[in-house]
Amino acid sequence: MRIISGSRRGAKIAAPPGLGTRPTGDRVREAAFNLIGPVDGAEVLDLFAGSGAMGLEALSRGASRVVFVESERTACRTIDSNLERLRLPGAAVLCTDALAALVTEARAGRRYDLVLVDPPYGTFTNLRQPLSTYLPRLLGEDGLVVVETSAGERPELGLLERTSRRYGAARLTLFEHP
């Protein structure tokens, strides 16, 4: 894997060892950021961050801050290592459960311009209710939520769907406030 664009374009990104993490591939990441548009100065929340590829891409493209949330310790160490190697400022890694982080961030009144949600494929249905409850409270006025699921899943969040597109085995769905 590599950074697609921005200040670290072409830099390699490490992925956690094993099959527990499914990093978003270069093609899908590029498609996501083409749909998202510019992220200069954005505050970003990367839930189920895995290798951190999506959040790292956002930082490379000019996001001012990315909060990476990942529950697997090995994946958290990989994100830290990627951040150190790429020398990308403006990052925080929370090694905790994504739903617990959602609750904490919402209670703290934090707002994000971009929220990236990439849970393990096949789990979105079980996450739908808590995500629908907390994501609207975390999303800034003109913010976007980008959800990656398996191609066969059609996520719903109680937000306005901007677009939903398939890329091989993946589906990207963008949401915004109604």
Query: What would the CATH number be for the domain defined by 26-176?
Result: 3.40.50.150
Question: What is the per-residue pLDDT across 105-138, written as a single tens digit (0 to 9) for each?
Answer: 999 999 999 999 999 888 888 999 999 999 999 9
**pLDDT averaged over consecutive 10-residue blocks of the chain (178 residues)?**
93 79 78 96 97 96 98 95 94 96 95 96 90 95 95 91 94 94
Residue bearing tokens 């090694």? 95
- Residue 169 is given by DSSP the state T
Query: CA-CA distance, 120 to 59, in Å (whole number)?
Result: 23
The residue extents of the domains of the chain are 26-176
pTM higher than 0.75 for the full model?
yes
Query: CA-CA distance, 98 to 64, in Å (whole number)?
Result: 21
Radius of gyration of the chain, Cα coordinates, nearest whole angstrom: 15
Residue 76 in contact with residue 95, Cβ under 8 Å?
yes
